[in-house]
Amino acid sequence: MAKKMKKQHNKQQKNNEKQMVTDESATSLSDLVSDDVLAKLKSAKQQLTAVEEKKKEKEKERKIQERKDREKNKSFEELLEEYGDAGTKY
């Protein structure tokens, strides 16, 4: 008798859990939030992505400039090691 009650209780808990999952998935955040707030969130997202793109572009430009400066400031010995005797053809 106790085993039957325990099995029924477990089944009921599983059914309750399944119902909770389906209830939660049926309502999304956009359903719960007003259109005005949703528009503000989308606007904020666009602004953040634009700022992030600008940061990436600046970082890329900074790396390019660093590479150019490093190449510009190389000593003769470093240039010779890097390019070797390729200039001896002439």
Residues 45-51: what's their mean pLDDT? 97
Instruction: Report the range of poorest mean pLDDT among 13-22, 28-37, 64-73.
Output: 13-22
Residue 7 clears pLDDT 90, i.e. is over it: no
The residue assigned the tokens 């599983």 is 14
d(CA 44, CA 12): 44
Quote the longest CA-to-CA distance of the chain: 101
- pLDDT given at position 71: 86
Q: Which residues contact 30 (CB under 8 A, 6 or more apart)?
A: 38
Name the residue with higher pLDDT: 71 or 3: 71
pLDDT attached to residue 3: 62
Note the pTM of the prediction, 2 decimals: 0.48
Query: For the chain, which residues make up each domain, given as ranges?
Result: 1-32, 33-85
**Per-residue pLDDT for 45 more than 60?**
yes
